[in-house]
Structure 1
Amino acid sequence: MPPIDRSRGRNVHIYDANDPATVLGGLILAKGVTNTNFYSMVEMLFIFTGTFFLRDEGNTKIEKDDRPLQPGEYSIVAADPFNVHNEPWLARTISHATGSRTQAFCDAVRSRDRRCVISGTEAVGADAGVWSGFETAHIFPLAYEGHWNTHNYGRWITIPPADPTKGSINSVQNGLFLEATIHQLFDSYAFSVNPDDNYKIVFFSFDPRNLSGKHLDQRFLNDPQRPVDQLLRWHFRQAVLANMRGAGEPIFEHDFPPGSDTVDDILRGPKAAERMEFELFGRLGTQVELFPTAGGDGVSA
């Protein structure tokens, strides 16, 4: 089955003012995205060596303010040449934290949150140990632990796992408790949380639950074990790159009907090697060397 096209349904399009025929990127506009937010996203997508501003299709300069971004075509007017950012995007499929290595991680995240931190839906069976309909999510995926170690992302962790041999990537600070369907959207970068805008939930795709534009609640933010901002920032940046750069990255099919040749479907699709390694990790729990390992993390400490 072909991957889902992220650019389908875009109603915001980005151009270089000097090349109005070439689309550089775009966005499916959701509630809560402001002009200031849009500027910050553009700065993640492109490398500027000088000043720039955005102009709408009516040739009006867009100010950095809290007005809602409007659908339309936007041109980048830059004092100097600029380039599309080549920061790697880490291919990711729907994942589940399973096995003895992640059990303590799941327990810690469940104990901390006891509800979906995005929708607010309570796990009413928590006291009875019933967590049906909910899942624990790694913000930075466990399958990329090699990348985590290479770039020393563990430097952001202040609460290590109870068993240090499980790796800092399994810290409660790298986890969120989510409804199962919301977990799938999080893993596919359909939405993210922007810690630099009061922890706003931002959808980059269609928002079936009307969650975009809302903010994480203060009860969650006041918890000393909550996720560190650097990891939320990393995920948000990955979501911007996945959804807004060029035509966007593929969204991989994960619901294969019985009898499907899953391996063949993966190998004939985009980013086959990365996806196959990710799928093998998810099924076997075997650490493999997923790429890319080169390039910066794009996130300041």
Structure 2
Amino acid sequence: MSVLNRSAGRDIHIYEAKNPDTLIGGLILTNGMTNANFYSMVEIICIFDGTYFLRDEYGTIIQRDGSPLHSGKYYILTSGSMTLSDESWLVRTVSLASGSRVAGFRDAVRARDRRCVITGTEALSADYGIWRGFEAAHIFPLALEHHWTDNVYSRWITVPASSGGSINSVQNGMLLRSDIHTLFDGYDISINPDDNYKIVCFRPDGYNIAGKHLDQRFLEDPHRPVYQLLRWHFRQAVIANMKGAGEPIFECDFPPGSDIMGEIISSPRAAELMEFELSSRLAVGSRRKATARGVSYSSY
């Protein structure tokens, strides 16, 4: 399986001042990133037992404020010790050969949003029942439902799902353009609910969305996604993209005849990737069986 390096293209590099030759992590700088944002993201990948601050490569102390972040090298200075966070990153990939959506979840997300939540692009043919180019995206992936259950994330859900369990509540979903859905699932794009729902791009932004905020009309909807799930996704995106060399980016477009399982087995984090793929495919299989029994599901 082709595996890409998330560190490629970084223009921000993070070091510990006590060990300046060891790279801790980094970031690709995109619009809207502030010094305060950077501090909060460093605190996701690092754990401190005392006070700390950041300085740039010229020796200037970086204030925790709304000033724009600049590219370059940054050094962490702390009065105590610092360790890298061991918060787990759950492998999540996108495969054009798999994926499923419960129809009730899809319909509820469509009815609420009627536009791509991140880009603002309206589903102009929605009144005619045509939603091509738009997909109902799970914030927390359906294929990892056992993690949802184990961590009782259902405690955050106040709007029950019509079917498929709490993970299929409209509060765990957003309508996205198909291309944005792929980037969201791959943690290339996320939303920081602790910064007024700012859109954060972890790869170069070709959509002019980085640094913008979600539409206030969306945020005022009582059925909007719960902020805890958006916060979970944002933390996962920071860990995937900023810690060390970053987590691998897996190929998702497999032409007919590809040895998908063989490529998965030969890839980094193969066991977790296999778990995700199998869970996705089992979900597809169960949906198809249900459809054969007369239950309607969407399969894209």
Tell me the TM-score normalised to structure 2 length: 0.92
Question: Aligned residue for 1:239?
Answer: 237
The secondary structure found in structure 1 opposite 2:149 is helix
Q: How much does 1:139 deviate?
A: 0.3
1:15 equivalenced with 2:11 (yes/no): no
CA distance in 2, matches of 1:112, 1:66: 33
CA distance in 1, matches of 2:245, 2:228: 27
User: Percent of aligned positions with the same letter in both sequences?
Assistant: 61
> Residues 254 and 109 of structure 1: is their aligned pair in 2 closer, same or farther, counting only changes over 3 Å?
same
Question: Aligned residue for 2:36?
Answer: 36
* 1:281-296 equivalences in 2 (<5 Å): 281-285=279-283
The secondary structure found in structure 1 opposite 2:194 is coil
* 1:125-136 equivalences in 2 (<5 Å): 125-136=125-136
The secondary structure found in structure 2 opposite 1:131 is coil
Matching residue's letter, 1:42 = V
1:248 equivalenced with 2:246 (yes/no): yes
Tell me if the contact between 1:97 and 1:136 (Cα under 8 Å) persists in the aligned partners. Answer: no
Question: Aligned residue for 1:214?
Answer: 212
Matching residue's letter, 1:138 = H
1:5 equivalenced with 2:10 (yes/no): no
- From 261, 264, 269, the counterpart of 2:262: 264
Q: How much does 1:97 deviate?
A: 5.5
Question: Aligned residue for 2:148?
Answer: 148
Kindly report structure 1 stretches of 4+ aligned residues shifted beyond 3 Å: none
Gaps of 5+ in 1: 288-301
Matching residue's letter, 1:228 = V
Q: How much does 1:270 deviate?
A: 0.8
Matching residue's letter, 1:114 = R
Tell me if the contact between 1:115 and 1:178 (Cα under 8 Å) persists in the aligned partners. Answer: yes
Tell me if the contact between 1:133 and 1:180 (Cα under 8 Å) persists in the aligned partners. Answer: yes
Tell me if the contact between 1:280 and 1:286 (Cα under 8 Å) persists in the aligned partners. Answer: no
Tell me if the contact between 1:97 and 1:137 (Cα under 8 Å) persists in the aligned partners. Answer: no
CA distance in 1, matches of 2:103, 2:127: 17
Question: Aligned residue for 2:84?
Answer: 84
Tell me if the contact between 1:97 and 1:106 (Cα under 8 Å) persists in the aligned partners. Answer: no
The secondary structure found in structure 2 opposite 1:196 is helix
CA distance in 1, matches of 2:133, 2:153: 30
Q: How much does 1:127 deviate?
A: 1.2
Question: Aligned residue for 2:65?
Answer: 65
Question: Aligned residue for 1:196?
Answer: 194
CA distance in 2, matches of 1:113, 1:26: 34
Q: How much does 1:2 deviate?
A: 2.3
1:178 equivalenced with 2:176 (yes/no): yes
What RMSD in Å do the two structures reach over aligned CA positions? Answer: 1.3
Matching residue's letter, 1:137 = A
